Chain A
Amino acid sequence: KQEVTQIPAALSVPEGENLVLNCSFTDSAIYNLQWFRQDPGKGLTSLLLIQSSQREQTSGRLNASLDKSSGRSTLYIAASQPGDSATYLCAVTPMGTYKYIFGTGTRLKVLA
């Protein structure tokens, strides 16, 4: 059974820092991995989707990497801003199913 773990559960950093969020999954047989952002009282917004054949994806200050063989992904946020404060969730789509399996998220707070 696929399980997704995110560490740390919460993170507080000063503005301007570069930071890394971690996601690990137990079964490497996946179609893709996706990173989402969730703001308080709001739904999820997709940030980056990495197909299983890809190693990384970039969007602005965000870079996500995927190491399928070791069951790990990282989300790198450059020059963090207070507006980046949110909960970040990763999800994998296991092969043989089209259902997302989510991690419990990392709650990020960027201090001004």
Chain B
Amino acid sequence: ETGVTQTPRHLVMGMTNKKSLKCEQHLGHNAMYWYKQSAKKPLELMFVYSLEERVENNSVPSRFSPECPNSSHLFLHLHTLQPEDSALYLCASSQTWGGMQETQYFGPGTRLLVL
């Protein structure tokens, strides 16, 4: 266990549904990340939060809406998704954002299927 948990582990949703992914880290870190991992493509960084403020948004469509209520929790709210959004969504955390020697600790991911 890396100290980063994600729920749910699997999610199937229709294109008109609204759902949320949850991430929790028990490491006392100050930075949290959302990544998308699609088949045959490299991991793509979606969002970065540092001390509960968003510091990176990598041109992610507005149908993905992140929320970071405190330094231990990170949510990804999903609405009106497309089938091409089906992927593994990974959460990660690190001690700080912007350190050259930082290692990120990853959760197990949520496998999302959009029908």
Contacts and interface: CB of A to CB of B under 8 A. Distances in A.
A51 B101 contact: yes
Given A43-B2, A43-B4, A45-B2, A100 B100 contact: no
Which secondary structure characterizes the binding site on chain B? loop
Contacts of B101: 32, 49, 51
B109 A99 contact: no
B53 interface: no
Ranked nearest first, the 10 interchain pairs of A and B with the lowest CB-CB distance are A43-B106, A44-B106, A102-B43, A102-B42, A31-B100, A43-B108, A98-B98, A46-B103, A42-B108, A43-B107
Interface of A: 4, 31-32, 34, 41-46, 49, 51, 89, 91, 93, 98-105
Given A43-B106, A46-B104, A99-B58, 14 more contacts: A32-B101, A41-B108, A41-B109, A41-B111, A43-B2, A43-B108, A44-B106, A45-B2, A46-B105, A49-B101, A51-B101, A93-B100, A98-B99, A104-B40
